Amino acid sequence: MLITSSALVTKQRTRTPSAGEMEAAMRSLFSDNSRYIDAFHIFVKNSTEHQRMREFIDTKLQEIISSIELKKPVIDVLGVGSGAGEIDLQMISKMQAIYPGVRIDNIIVEPSPKQISCYKERIAKTKGLDNVTFSWHEKTSFEFESEVKESKQLKKYDFIHMIQMLYYVKDVEATLKFFSSCLAPKGKLVISLVSEKSGWPILWQKYGSRLPLNDLCFQVTSGGVQDILNSMGAKYESYNLHSHTNITECFVEGDHNGELLLDFLTDTCEFNKNAPSDLRDQVLHDLKSLEFSASKDGKILFRNKASVIVVESP
């Protein structure tokens, strides 16, 4: 029987993609801003990370802010990658308690318009911000850095924070050097990110070559940042935050929140749908193992240890 060209086309269209083709077709979660934000919100909801950060703010941050030794009528604050502002406003509240009545000039660098909108909505619902001014720069940290260097007007800040954002820069060392240079005398740079003792680095190291991690620094850990700071001769203190993420929903077939969580863990858009079956099965098997998680009361808790690093002005 002769096979017509149209039949060949039909055959090609219905052919099952190979595992290699599926991996090549996978794209980073960061390429879909809306899905990334949805996945991030589910992660925050299922994680104790923000709770541990709030505890850090309520305890250690008071001592850190008090050491700024403010000698002017305004506190200059820079938030880099502030997202929807939840942690920002908690830190600002602590500053207000330490320096009552002092004006706070809060500059925010955040590339997502959706997150900025959420930040503004949060401000509208928060009382007691009369002495705080907010200014937004809808750009990445690199774009902000380039703009500052081009203008040759380097403003100095008393307090800079980079909460879980160093994964999204292309050059961690250059970013740390630039923002350290933006500190005023006695100023503090607060960095939070995943610990090398967390399950994240193991996951990245094991499967990074098969995941679309693009050219950003998703594998950076607190240990790596401390190595860079040591090479810079920077003075800093490090604090450990022990947290976990409930990933039980990842193992419920068809669960939307579970799929978003899996996207966030692997930094892959629609991982459950687009990853080759062998990769998907291996990742799910490992996430359940003691290497990554603990089981408690029927829940699977992913080890999500983080660190806060406080850098002093040069």
Known binding residues: 49, 81, 110, 115, 141, 163, 304
CA–CA gap between residue 104 and residue 199 (Å, rounded): 37
CA–CA gap between residue 23 and residue 41 (Å, rounded): 26
Tokens for 71?
Answer: 């000698």
C-beta separation of 168 from 294 below 8 A: no
State the DSSP code for 102.
-
What is the four-CA torsion angle of 179, 184, 190, 191, rounded to 10 degrees?
Answer: 10
C-beta separation of 274 from 29 below 8 A: no
Residues marked as binding for substrate? 49, 304
Among candidates 60, 57, 54, 67, which has minimal Cα distance to 188? 67
Q: Work out the angle at residue 147's Cα, subtended by the Cα atoms of residues 143 and 149, and round it to the nearest 5 degrees.
A: 115
At residue 221, φ and ψ (nearest 5 deg) are -130, 170
Q: At residue 249, what is the residue type?
A: E
Residues marked as binding for S-adenosyl-L-methionine? 81, 110, 115, 141, 163
3-state helix, strand, coil in the chain (%, to 5): 50, 20, 30
Q: Order of strands, edge to edge, in the sheet holding 293-296?
A: 244-246, 299-303, 293-296
